[in-house]
């Protein structure tokens, strides 16, 4: 029988791993603590900015996101040409990987880390080189040792998704000193605003002296704009220019630009909310630990429970009780910090399970 001719793709595309998103919440009653979202709805000033945009969706947005770039550059004390907004930090990560790495090139990353990374590396045609975490933390010495002359990019998620751990200044500086200057280091700081440890370095300080470091940040988590898909990169002009050249034109839509600008203008209010999430993170961590769970110190808006083969049963039990969490294979479960009410609910479920299972 003759096969219908099908379009031909790159030979490696058929085998690409798929990004597995957190499942959609099955009903409105379910509390969703599975995608590291911000539990707070947008501020009225952000809703107003979005409302003003609605009436002009027939027009293309500013392709350079000029207002957003200016606002970010001022907030971060960096030159305008060091800032590149994108379709979420994921869009920027994808463009960076595609620009820096292709067939035969390697990208060193920690594992387990953000599961989108290997997907993006494969999609670029390059090969991920996963370096196992050590005790839930990046093993930066092993990552530096994994760099070869085929390495084009190293990705460091700080804090790390899904374990929540953060690497500290001295170890990160030592690591950056070991990575060759022609290898791009992507420092993914999606959770930077939740870091309350002064020993964890600010990537925007580190990149200033290191032209091979690019910092990725996002409005999806602390700023609560996950649905709008907007993030930004901070890098020296040589890297920023490549990113601008490779990014899809009009990547950041007008609603996203307007909401991001309004959010930066309401920053102190939004950072207060971040403060309450951080306080809740401490409370949840303590409660889970006293229930017998081992919880690494998180610097993000989620906590990690290494439950091994108990991960799926734990997640199923949470879901049966109306709370969605995120299991990762037979490794562990990531639980997003939600509202105090949601967190109480999660802690109660976890306590009940601990009594039954004696974790």
Ligand X SMILES: *Cc1c(COP(=O)(O)O)cnc(C)c1O
How far apart are CB 8 and ligand X at their closest, in Å?
Answer: 30
CA dihedral 127, 205, 279, 295 (to 10 degrees): 40
How far apart are CB 188 and ligand X at their closest, in Å?
Answer: 5
Burial 180-213 (b: 16+ CB within 10 A, else e): eeebbbbbbbbbbbbbeeeebbebbebbeebebb
Q: Which is nearer to ligand X, 189 or 342 (CB)?
A: 189
Return d(Cα 112, Cα 331) in angstroms, integer: 9
Residue 287 gets which letter from DSSP? H
How far apart are CB 304 and ligand X at their closest, in Å?
Answer: 12
Listed in sequence order, the residues at least 6 apart from 187 whose beta carbon sits closer than 8 Å to its beta carbon are 156, 158, 203, 206, 207, 213, 214, 215, 216
Q: How many CA atoms lie within 13 A of 41 on its CB side?
A: 3
Q: Does 36 bind ligand X (CB under 6 A)?
A: yes
Q: Going residue by residue from 65 to 104, which x/- string records binding to ligand X, judged by CB under 6 A?
A: -----------------------xxx--------------
* Residue listed under structure tokens 């979202």: 37
Q: Which is nearer to ligand X, 90 or 214 (CB)?
A: 90
Q: Does 317 bind ligand X (CB under 6 A)?
A: no
Query: With contact defined as beta carbons under 8 Å apart, do 106 and 152 qualify?
Result: yes
How far apart are CB 50 and ligand X at their closest, in Å?
Answer: 17
How far apart are CB 252 and ligand X at their closest, in Å?
Answer: 11
Q: Which is nearer to ligand X, 194 or 293 (CB)?
A: 194
Q: How many residues bind ligand X (CB under 6 A)?
A: 14
Tokens, residue 316: 């199923």
From the list 34, 161, 257, 263, which residue makes contact with ligand X (rule: CB under 6 A)? Answer: 161
Return d(Cα 214, Cα 216) in angstroms, integer: 7
Q: Which is nearer to ligand X, 10 or 227 (CB)?
A: 227
Alpha helices in 219-299 (DSSP H): 237-246, 254-265, 267-290
Piece in contact with ligand X (CB under 6 A), picked from 197-205, 213-221, 243-251, 319-327: 213-221
Query: With contact defined as beta carbons under 8 Å apart, do 12 and 305 qualify?
Result: no
How far apart are CB 300 and ligand X at their closest, in Å?
Answer: 8
Piece in contact with ligand X (CB under 6 A), picked from 102-110, 219-227, 337-345, 347-355: 219-227
Name the residue with the smallest CB distance to ligand X.
88
Q: Does 193 bind ligand X (CB under 6 A)?
A: no
Q: Going residue by residue from 109 to 128, which x/- string records binding to ligand X, judged by CB under 6 A?
A: -----x--------------
From the list 34, 38, 218, 336, which residue makes contact with ligand X (rule: CB under 6 A)? Answer: 218
Q: Which is nearer to ligand X, 220 or 285 (CB)?
A: 220
How far apart are CB 250 and ligand X at their closest, in Å?
Answer: 17
Nearest to 225 by CA among 197, 252, 189: 252
End-to-end alpha-carbon separation of the chain, Å?
A: 57
Return d(Cα 287, Cα 231) in angstroms, integer: 33
Piece in contact with ligand X (CB under 6 A), picked from 207-215, 217-225, 260-268, 339-347: 217-225
Residue 193 gets which letter from DSSP? G
From the list 188, 280, 331, 342, which residue makes contact with ligand X (rule: CB under 6 A)? Answer: 188
Return d(Cα 307, Cα 181) in angstroms, integer: 39
Paired with 336 in beta bridges are: 302
How far apart are CB 89 and ligand X at their closest, in Å?
Answer: 4
Residues of the shown chain interacting with ligand X in the complex, contacts defined by CB under 6 A: 36, 88-90, 114, 157, 161, 188, 190, 218, 220-221, 226, 231
């Amino acid at each position: 029988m003759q096969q219908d001719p099908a379009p031909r793709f790159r030979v490696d595309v058929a085998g690409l791993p798929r990004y597995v998103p957190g499942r959609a919440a099955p009903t409105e009653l379910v509390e969703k603590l599975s995608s590291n979202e911000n539990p707070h709805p947008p501020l009225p000033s952000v809703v107003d900015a979005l409302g003003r945009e609605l009436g002009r969706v027939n027009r293309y947005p500013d392709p350079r996101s000029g207002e957003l770039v200016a606002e970010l550059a001022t907030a971060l004390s960096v030159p305008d040409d060091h800032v590149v907004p994108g379709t979420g930090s994921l869009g920027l990560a994808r463009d960076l990987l595609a620009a820096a790495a292709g067939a035969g090139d390697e990208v060193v990353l920690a594992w387990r880390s953000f599961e989108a990374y290997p997907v993006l590396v494969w999609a670029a045609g390059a090969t991920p080189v996963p370096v196992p975490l050590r005790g839930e933390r990046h093993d930066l010495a092993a990552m530096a040792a994994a760099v070869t002359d085929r390495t084009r990019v190293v990705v460091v998620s700080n804090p790390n998704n899904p374990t929540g751990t953060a690497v500290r200044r001295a170890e990160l500086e030592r690591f950056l000193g070991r990575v060759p200057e022609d290898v791009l280091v992507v420092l993914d700081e999606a959770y930077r605003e939740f870091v309350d440890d002064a020993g964890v370095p600010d990537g925007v300080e580190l990149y200033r002296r290191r032209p091979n470091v690019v910092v990725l940040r996002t409005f999806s988590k602390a700023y609560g704009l996950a649905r709008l898909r907007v993030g930004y990169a901070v890098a020296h002009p040589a890297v920023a220019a490549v990113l601008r050249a490779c990014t899809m034109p009009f990547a950041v839509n007008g609603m996203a630009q307007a909401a991001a600008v309004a959010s930066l203008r309401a920053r102190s209010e939004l950072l207060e909310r971040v403060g309450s999430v951080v306080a809740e993170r401490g409370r949840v961590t303590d409660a889970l630990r006293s229930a017998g769970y081992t919880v690494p110190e998180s610097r993000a808006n989620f906590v990690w429970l290494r439950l091994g083969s108990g991960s799926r049963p734990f997640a199923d039990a949470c879901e049966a009780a109306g709370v969605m969490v995120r299991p990762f294979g037979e490794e562990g479960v990531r639980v997003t910090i939600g509202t105090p009410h949601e967190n109480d609910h999660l802690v109660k479920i976890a306590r009940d399970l601990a009594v039954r299972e004696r974790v």
